[in-house]
Amino acid sequence: MVELIFPDGSKQEVEKGTPFGDLLRELPGALRKKAVAVSVDDQAYDLNRVVEGGGRFVVLTTDSDKGLDILRHGTSHLMALAVQELFGKVKFAIGPAIQDGFYYDILMDHTLSPDDLEKIEAKMRELLDRGDLAFTREVLPSSEAVKLFTELDQPFKVELINDLGAENVSIYRLGAFTDLCVGPHLADVRKMRHFKLLSLAGAYWRGDENRDMLQRIYGTVFFKEAELRQDLERREEARKRDHRKLGPQLELFDIKEEAGGGLVFWYPKGYILREMVENFWIEEHRKDGYQMILTPHIAKSGLWKTSGHYDYYKENMFLIRDDEDQEFVLKPMNCPGHILIYKNKLHSYRDLPIRYAELGTVYRNERSGTLHGLLRVRGFTQDDAHIFCTPEQMEEEVSRCFNLAHKLLTTFGFKDYQVELSAHDPQNMEKYAGSEEDWIMAEEALLKTIENRNIPFKKIPGEAVFYGPKIDLKLIDAIGRGWQATTIQFDFNLPRRFDVTYINKEGQKEYVYMIHRALLGSIERFIGTLTEHYAGAFPLWLSPEQVRVLPVGKEHHGYARECVGKMRAAGIRAEGDFREEKLGYKIRESELQKVYYMAVCGDKETQAGTLDIRSKSKGRLGVKKLDLFIEEVVDEIGKKT
C-alpha cells in the first residue's frame, strides 16, 4: 500500500498497481471530465497507467498550463505523424510544447512551402477523423531503443538516447509514428482537434550552426475552439500594433533601405516622442544625483584594446581607418568613455558615489538576420549611466537604480514587469572576472534590493556574463507581452583593466565598484515598445499632435488660426486643418492619425469664443471656452497620464 495526498490535504491508502482510472472514477464528474493526466510528486503519468508510489497526487486538467502543455506536445506528435504519412522518409529531431504552441523540427529533402501547411493540417484532421488513433507507451532498455530508432532511420533520436545515458527510455507510438518521449499523453486524441499550423522556419539541430539546418513547423492548439479563435485574434491584434507598421504609417520613424538595415530615421513626429522621453529622463536623473556627460562617437582602437572589446567583440564593431593609418572604432559601448572622465583625477572615498549619465549613441554591427524594427538595430541610443562607488554603497545604489527605473517605467504607462537576477555559476569560477567574494557580495546586494520590494523574481545561476551579475526588468505591455528594458549590471572587469580606483579611509588605493545600468534599455527599443503598448495612440503628454483645430468652413479659418496660436503659446502641440474639405473627412483623418483632441469650430463657436471638443478615446466631450480648454489641456499634460 502507498499513501496519496490530495491537494485539499486529505489522504488515501491505495494498492500499488491501482489504475489511475479507478481513482478518477471516485472524483467529481466535472474534474474527471477535465482530466488530462495525473501527477504524483510532480511526476506526470498517463491516465491509463497505474499507481507506482505514494506522494502528492494532482489531477492535471484542461484548465492548467501543464494540461495545455500535454495537449500541445501531443499535437506535435500528430503533426509529425501527418508529415511522415505525406512525405515518407523524414528524420525527426524534437517536437516540444512552447509558450504559445508547439513545433517539430524535421530534416527532409522536400522543402516545405506554406501550401504544405494546409496539406499537413488536412492530413491531421483526416487522421483524427479515422477514429482509431491512440497513444501507446512502452518502456525499453536504451540499447534496444537505439536499435529500434536505427532501424527506423532516425539518427537524431539515436543521438538523444545516447546522450541521455539512461538505463531505460520510454517511447510513445501514435499510429505509425514512433517517438522517444517521456510523456505523458492524452488518453483521448480527439481533444487535439482545435489546432492551427502557423509558420515555417529554419532551425539548427541543437541550436548549433555547424550542424544540420532543420525545417521547423510551428502550430498552436487549444482545448476549446473559442480559445483557439481568441489566440488567433490576439496574434492579429499584435500584428496591428506592430511598431514596424505603425511607425511609418503615423510618420514617427522608419528604416531606409538606401541607408541600410538597423539604422533609424526619426521623423518630426517621432522626434517629439524622443524629446519627451529624453527630457523626462534627464529631469529625473538630475533629481536623483546623476551628472550628464557626453563622450565622442569614435575613439582610437587602443582604448578598445584596453577594455578588451577589441579582442572579444571585434566582429560586432565598426572600424574606421584614417589616412595616417590610425585605426578608430565607432563606439559600441559608453563605458570606456565614462571611465576616462572618472580617471581625469584622483578620487577619494568621500567623492563617491559618482553617477555619470549619458544618452550615448552606440553602433554595433549586428548580424543581418538579427535586425528587427527598432527592437534590434545597429545604431541606438542607450540611456546609459555608470555608477562608481565603494562596496558599502553598492546596495543603496542598486536600490536607487531600481526606484528610478520604477518611476520611469510606471510614468510611461508600464505597470507590470518581471525581474530576473543573473547570477554566477559556482562550479565555473575561473571564467569570471573578480573574486568569488565580490560576486557573492554583489549578488546579495541585488537580491536584497529585489526582496525589499517584495516582488516576484527569477534567480538564474550561471546566466551572468563573465564581468558581473545583473538584474534585468522585462516590461509587460498592454496585451501581455514581455519586452527587455532595464538592466543593472556589476562590472568587475573594466575597473581592473583600466585601473579605476579610489583612495579609501586608510589612504590606500582600491578598485572602485562599477555599476553599469540602462533603465529604458535603448531609446529606440523603448519607443518601439511604447508604440506597441499604446498601439500608436499615445497618452496626451507624449502625443506628437495634442490638438487639431478643425474649422467647419472657410469663414471660420481666422478664428481657428487664433485658437491654434493661443494653444501653441501655452505650450500645446496644436495644428489646424485648413483644407477645404467636409468636417467628417477631417475628423476621419485626425482619428486615423491618432490625434489626441479634435477641436471643431463653426459659426456658434466662433461667435461664443468656444470650441467643440472631441477626444480620440472618448468621443464628443462638449463645447468649452477656449481659455478653459487650454488650461485643462496644459494641466492634463503636466500630469503625464
Q: Least separation, in Å, of the C-beta of 421 and RNA? A: 16
481 is catalytic: no
Q: Least separation, in Å, of the C-beta of 590 and RNA? A: 8
Q: Least separation, in Å, of the C-beta of 49 and RNA? A: 33
524/250 Cα distance (integer angstroms): 16
Between 40 and 333, CB nearer to RNA: 333
Catalytic residue among 66, 285, 470, 594: 470
Catalytic residue among 384, 472, 477, 577: 384
447/445 Cα distance (integer angstroms): 5
Catalytic residue among 516, 517, 533, 624: 516
Between 67 and 528, CB nearer to RNA: 528
Angle at 594 between CA 588 and CA 600, to 5 degrees: 55
Between 239 and 639, CB nearer to RNA: 239
Catalytic residue among 181, 215, 331, 335: 335
Q: Least separation, in Å, of the C-beta of 157 and RNA? A: 19
516 is catalytic: yes
387/362 Cα distance (integer angstroms): 19
82/104 Cα distance (integer angstroms): 12
> 102: helix, coil or strand?
strand
Catalytic residue among 185, 274, 355, 386: 386
Q: Least separation, in Å, of the C-beta of 436 and RNA? A: 18
Q: What is the DSSP letter of 540?
A: T
Q: Least separation, in Å, of the C-beta of 287 and RNA? A: 30
Between 345 and 367, CB nearer to RNA: 367
> 138: helix, coil or strand?
strand
364 is catalytic: yes
382 is catalytic: yes
Q: What length is written for the chain?
A: 641
Residue by residue, what is the 3-state secondary structure of 295-346?
CCCEEEHHHHHHHCHHHHCHHHCEEEECCCCCEEEECCCCHHHHHHHHCCCC
Closest CA to 284 of 351, 339, 355: 355
Report yes or no: 398 and 445 within 8 Å, Cβ to Cβ: yes
Report yes or no: 624 and 522 within 8 Å, Cβ to Cβ: no
136/502 Cα distance (integer angstroms): 68
Q: Mark 372-404 as b/e (b = at least 16 C-beta within 10 Å).
A: ebbbbbbbbbbbbbbbbbbbebbbebbbbbbeb
Residues that bind RNA (CB under 7 A): 111-113, 199-204, 207-209, 213, 215-216, 218, 244, 248, 255, 257, 260-262, 307-309, 312-313, 366-373, 465-467, 493-494, 552-554, 580-585, 587-588, 591-592, 598, 600-605, 612, 614, 620
Between 488 and 552, CB nearer to RNA: 552
Between 45 and 513, CB nearer to RNA: 513
601 is catalytic: no
Catalytic residue among 285, 309, 364, 624: 364
Report yes or no: 471 and 446 within 8 Å, Cβ to Cβ: yes
384 is catalytic: yes
614/596 Cα distance (integer angstroms): 9
Q: Least separation, in Å, of the C-beta of 307 and RNA? A: 6
Q: What is the DSSP letter of 50?
A: B
Between 160 and 587, CB nearer to RNA: 587
Q: Least separation, in Å, of the C-beta of 242 and RNA? A: 7
Residue 25 CA: distances (Å) to CA of 22, 51, 134: 5, 14, 21
Between 397 and 605, CB nearer to RNA: 605
List, in sequence order, every residue forming a beta bridge with 266; answer none if it has no partner: 253
Which residues form the catalytic set? 335, 364, 382, 384, 386, 470, 516
